[in-house]
Each structure stands twice: as C-alpha cells, then as structure tokens.
Chains A and B, each alone.
Chain A
C-alpha cells in the first residue's frame, strides 16, 4: 500500500512538473500560434471592398502586394502565422465600428486612431503616420493655390469616415460647405466633372489618384500636422485579447525597421508636396 502510494505521488509530481515545464515554454515562445483568434490556428484579417492602391493591389488583399497587405502579412508572421494561415474577409466601415463581436481578428483599412474612437474599439499602436493632401485638376480654380487663404472660396470634397473631412472643417475652414462622398471613386468622378474644386485625401492615396486616375491631376499641397498626431492603426474589438500581442508585433516591426522598409517599397512614389499654411 505504502509502496503504491509512493509511486503514485512520484508519478503525479513528474506529470505536474512536465506540464508546468511545457506550458512555461509555450508561454514564452510568442512565435507559437496560441493566440485566442476567431478560428484557432488561423488569423482572420478584415479590410474593405474595394481595397485601394497603393494600400493593396488590384482589390486583392491576399497577394501581399501593397503597403497594408505587406504590413498585415509581416504582423501575422511576427505573431507566428505564416501566409498560409492568414484568411482575409471583407469588412465594410460600418461593420468595423459596430459594437459586439467582429468577423475578424483585426482590421487593416487606413483607419486613423483618435481617442474618441478608442472608446468604442481597440486600436493597435500606429503603423503609419498620415499627412493629408489636396489634389485638383489643372483647369481648376485652385490649381495655383499656395496658402490656406487661397482655398477660402473653394468647394472641397472628402470621403466619409476619413480624417480628411476633419482636415477640411478644422484646418482649411473654407466658407463654402464641403461635399462628402461615400467612396473615393465617386469623389474622383465629382472632381473630374468640376463639381468640387479640390479633393482632400491622405498623401499616398493623393499621389496615386493624381498620378494614375486623373489625366490632368495635380497635387496642390499637403497640410501641416504635428508628428504622430494622425496615425493609421489596426482595429480590434473592444477588450480583444489580441490587442497587446498585435501592438507588440507592430512595435517590434517598427523597432527592426520593417515598417520603414515597407513604406519605402510601396509608398516610394509618394514624393514631397509643398505644405499649405
């Protein structure tokens, strides 16, 4: 009896120490995919449809081309998910900001971090510092604008849900009421028609639209902003268990220079633009 008890106790101690050892190693190995994702073993990333250049390529987030697509795969690799374990879902802006469970682990779609928005969703640390820029056509009346005062009588446009709109209302403050569009496509069509004099977009998108989509497009300038005041961040559900790990991944990518390298690779066509004051 005593012998059997002795063996049992030793066995139990052995099993206990083994399991503690195993869980200790798995806890420290952050590269092992043990995060509480929606689907265990798969990282589900959301983005909008259409997914715009230069953030994505050809409306296909899964091909890894485009700044945000590349960043997403880099973060997934940092978290321990190879490209084969990454799944993309379409998530419109409203489904990203609605309360309750989301259909993705995190969403990447040029969403600016603001403290007000942070009350409703979780943001990772910023992965890109955004500047807002103004584009127009060569025959527009603001083509030669140099200062904010030149824009006072311009009818400007922006997409809904973007900090571009708050740039118009807070920084430019024109006398004419701005127009707000559902998507950049409609806004660009309105600019081509002359229904708006200028369109405010973030700098990389501005370069793309002025260069590739408009035949006579030009960038009037960009707007001064404090460094780090407007950053794109990944969106997660409020109180998501992944926020810490994802933020840590972004910080690691920033520290080892990956963020800068990817920005240089995909946003290199973004040159400088004069600052409108």
Chain B
C-alpha cells in the first residue's frame, strides 16, 4: 500500500510552512526598512552630492579601470608567489619550533628569534629595510628589483605569522595521537608526517586562509618601493584628476579577488565539519 501521511503529520507540515512563510515575510520587511533608513540617512546628508561625484563618478571609474586592472596583475603575481613560499617557510619554522630533539636546539632558538622579530617589525619597516637597504649594500648578485625585494619582505613577515598559526595547530593535536603513533612503531618523523601534521593543518585551515586573505591585501604595499600595483595605479589617476573614484574601483577589484578564497574557506570548513560528524569525532 503506498505511503499515506496521517492527518496529524499533514497538520504539522502545514504549520511549519506557515511559520517559515511568516519568518520570510518579517525578514523581507526588516531588510527593506533598514535599507530605506540607510539610503535616506546617506543621501540626505548635505555633502552627499559632492561625495557621490568625488567617490562614485562613472566617468572616472571607466577611464581608470584599465590602468587599475593592469596594476592588479602585479598584485596577483606577487600574491601567488608569496603565498606558496609563506606556506612552505611557515611550515618549516613551525616544525623547527615544535621539534623535541636536543640536537636541534640551535634551530629551535633561531626559529623563535625569527618569529619574534618579524612579528614585531611592522611590514612597512621591513619593506623599507629590505627594499632600500639591501640594494644599498651594492652586492652585485642580489637583484635591485622592487617587485622581488618587496615579495621577499612579504614572505619574511608573513612566514612568522603563519608559522605561529601552524605551531598552534600542531600543539592542539591531542598528545595521545603522538603516543599512539609511537606505540604503533612509527618513528618521530613518521608520526609527525602521517599522524600529527594532517590533523594539525585541518584544524588551522580557517585562520591560515585568513592570513592568506590578509596577504592578498598587503601585496599592494610593495608599491612604496616604486612598483605600480592596483592601489598605486588608482593613486596616480586620483592625483591627476583629484577624483577618488579610482580608489573605489581598486577596492571593488580587491573584494572580487578575495571572495573566491573566502567562499573556498567556508566550503572547506563545512566539508571538514561534515566529515568529523560522520566519523563521530568532535
């Protein structure tokens, strides 16, 4: 006999539908009211017309777009190279800091000093010290290029942050895991590679991707050394026209660049949560 829902079930489903429709309606009304209030407050401000012309002028958005886009290409290149090296060096430094063998003590000490220094120095300072100081030493085989030295500064600074994040992940793994690995006959490095690190990296994926999103923005700071990135290109156009719309265009492009990474982070964490629930592991 085909399944026939009971009257009680039908009644319950109808009630649930009613409640959800009610909620949707209230959500729509609330959104419209708040949006209307914001629009009235902003457009009613006495300087609104001037701000709209200065920051949201369509004419300047169109004329500055090609220049800003070509600058964004530099941001992309720096970002990708820097991200790869930051992850590699961050992992190495984190492993150095969490090593236990007494032979590696100097390496551990160096790694601690490194993270302390480069988390303490502002990125702008590192950019000037490396970008202007290193070429000043006039060592012939070190390049003078602003882009290369700027990327190196980014890598130096961000590796320190990422190393600390990964180290936090490694230390957050339950110590029983290490003991279990050793009990199964795995060596220290095998335990680290096959048991600890996969769990550690899975734990710290959100903060790690957060640091990478921050790196995307800071890739523009190499413009203090002369390279023309998206923000600098916008600045040049702004200085020539005295109109700030190019900066808004650059901002919009950066947001568009960041959204794939943030959506990817959300999807990854949701997938991991689902896997964890399925495995019965909290």
* Contact (A180, B242) CB under 8 Å given A190-B132, A195-B144: no
Chain B residues, Cβ within 8 Å of A119: 241-243
Tell whether, in the assembled complex, residue A165 and residue B242 are in contact, meaning their CB atoms are under 8 Å apart: no
A161 at the interface (CB under 8 A from B): yes
Tell whether, in the assembled complex, residue A93 and residue B239 are in contact, meaning their CB atoms are under 8 Å apart: yes
Q: Within B37-90, which residues are at the interface with A (CB < 8 Å)?
A: 47, 50-51, 53-55
Measured CB to CB, the nearest residue on chain B to A118 is B242
Measured CB to CB, the nearest residue on chain A to B50 is A99
Cβ proximity bits A214-258 to B, threshold 8 Å, 1 near / 0 not: 000000000000000000000000000000000000000000000
Tell whether, in the assembled complex, residue A190 and residue B225 are in contact, meaning their CB atoms are under 8 Å apart: yes
A19 at the interface (CB under 8 A from B): no
* Contact (A98, B223) CB under 8 Å given A180-B228, A190-B132: no
Q: Within B237-278, which residues are at the interface with A (CB < 8 Å)?
A: 238-244
Cβ proximity bits B207-249 to A, threshold 8 Å, 1 near / 0 not: 0000000000000000111111000100110111111100000
Chain A residues, Cβ within 8 Å of B228: 177, 179-180
Q: Within B125-163, which residues are at the interface with A (CB < 8 Å)?
A: 128, 132, 135-136, 138, 144-146
Residue in B224, B226, B240, B243 whose beta carbon sits within 8 Å of that of A195 in the complex:
B226
Given the complex of chains A and B, what is the CA–CA distance between A85 and B239 in angstroms?
31
Given the complex of chains A and B, what is the CA–CA distance between A114 and B51 in angstroms?
21
Tell whether, in the assembled complex, residue B224 and residue A120 are in contact, meaning their CB atoms are under 8 Å apart: no
Chain A residues, Cβ within 8 Å of B243: 119-120
Residue in B47, B226, B238 whose beta carbon sits within 8 Å of that of A196 in the complex:
B226
Given the complex of chains A and B, what is the CA–CA distance between A129 and B159 in angstroms?
50
Given the complex of chains A and B, what is the CA–CA distance between A194 and B135 in angstroms?
8
Tell whether, in the assembled complex, residue A120 and residue B226 are in contact, meaning their CB atoms are under 8 Å apart: no
Tell whether, in the assembled complex, residue A194 and residue B241 are in contact, meaning their CB atoms are under 8 Å apart: no
Tell whether, in the assembled complex, residue A186 and residue B232 are in contact, meaning their CB atoms are under 8 Å apart: no
Tell whether, in the assembled complex, residue A99 and residue B53 are in contact, meaning their CB atoms are under 8 Å apart: yes
Residue in A97, A179, A182, A189 whose beta carbon sits within 8 Å of that of B242 in the complex:
A97
Tell whether, in the assembled complex, residue B51 and residue A99 are in contact, meaning their CB atoms are under 8 Å apart: yes
A154 at the interface (CB under 8 A from B): no
Tell whether, in the assembled complex, residue A157 and residue B226 are in contact, meaning their CB atoms are under 8 Å apart: yes
A7 at the interface (CB under 8 A from B): no
Cβ proximity bits A93-126 to B, threshold 8 Å, 1 near / 0 not: 1000111100000000000001011011100000
Given the complex of chains A and B, what is the CA–CA distance between A12 and B225 in angstroms?
72
Tell whether, in the assembled complex, residue A180 and residue B241 are in contact, meaning their CB atoms are under 8 Å apart: no
Question: What would 5 more interface pairs be, CB under 8 Å, given A99-B244, A190-B226?
Answer: A120-B242, A180-B226, A180-B232, A189-B132, A190-B146
Q: Which residues of A contact B (CB under 8 A)?
A: 93, 97-100, 114, 116-117, 119-121, 157, 160-162, 165-166, 177, 179-182, 186-187, 189-190, 192-196
The 7 closest A-B pairs by CB, nearest first: A179-B226, A161-B239, A120-B242, A193-B135, A99-B54, A97-B242, A117-B242
